[in-house]
Amino acid sequence: MHFQPFHSDVPEIKGEWTIDDLVLFNIPGPLEQVERRWTAVKKYSLMVDEIHDRTIQAIKEHLEALPSDKLLSEDALEFASLAEMELDALSDSNSYLVKSTVFLLLVSFTEYANKEVYKLVRPHGPAIPEKSAVSFIRNGLREEGILEADDPASYTEHFFNHIQPVRNNFAHGDWAQLAKTLNQVDLTKSFQAVHEYFGSMKANLSRRGVEV
């Protein structure tokens, strides 16, 4: 599976966690819709990862339980062959489709959440342009003191640096290169990094008297 539990040494949240435990904003609150969609992203990502892994394990267990080829009927041999083909397909997709889909979903959510924070901080504009929207938003949030001059190191290493390579390889069908690129991506750490990124924003908003 791509998602693994992780350990927290922070006193108030000490123990073993999963990405499902990561909360960005308060409900109720001005950014509660962002939190609801964050929850949806986490649930969907965990579900896809778990179902895919369960299916692979079930096929492996079935194949391991089969007797030798000499003892199988013709129909059973054909079924076993189909199961092996399905296993190969699922194993291949696990290396690029599942991981890239979840990662790109996280990218999309992050851009959405950035926009919502920007609209909260600058309700009267300037309006977000259609082109270069991400840079515009991030610069605006930095000017307002909501986004630090430097992103958290974990955000840069485990999330931001992977966005363009994954997005470009996926969009242009370079799946062999995509699989290599995704070898560098740890989805658990990517979700943790996004949580830290918005946690920094939340702290800066709180210093301005805006509780989210």
**pLDDT tens digit sequence for 27-43:** 999 999 999 999 999 99
Measured in whole angstroms, how far is the alpha carbon of residue 181 from the centre of its chain? 15
- Quickly state the pLDDT bin for 7 (edges 50, 70, 90): confident
Residue in this structure with the two tokens 């059973």, named with its chain if needed: 76
Which of these, 150, 145, 142, 165, lies nearest to 196 by C-alpha position?
150
Residues 6+ apart with CB under 8 A from 184: 162
Cis geometry, peptide bond prior to residue 28 (ω within 30 degrees of 0): yes
Predicted local distance difference test score (pLDDT) of residue 76: 63
Please state whether the peptide bond connecting residue 126 to the residue before it is cis, i.e. omega within 30 degrees of 0: yes
When pLDDT is cut at 50, 70 and 90, the band that residue 66 belongs to is: confident
Q: What percent of the chain clears pLDDT 90, i.e. is strictly above it?
A: 70
Locate the domains of the chain by residue range. 28-207
Check if the beta carbon of residue 48 is closer than 8 Å to that of residue 101. yes
What average pLDDT score do residues 9-32 get?
87
Q: Cα 195 to the chain's mean position, in Å?
A: 11
What is the three-class DSSP state of 15? strand
Which candidate, 21, 94, 20, 96, places its Cα nearest to that of 51?
94
Whether the per-residue pLDDT at 143 is higher than 80: the answer is yes
Phi and psi angles of residue 16, each rounded to the nearest 5 degrees, phi first: -90, 130
pLDDT band (50, 70, 90) for residue 145? very high
Greater model confidence, 100 or 59: 100
Q: Residue 168 has which token pair?
A: 């470009």
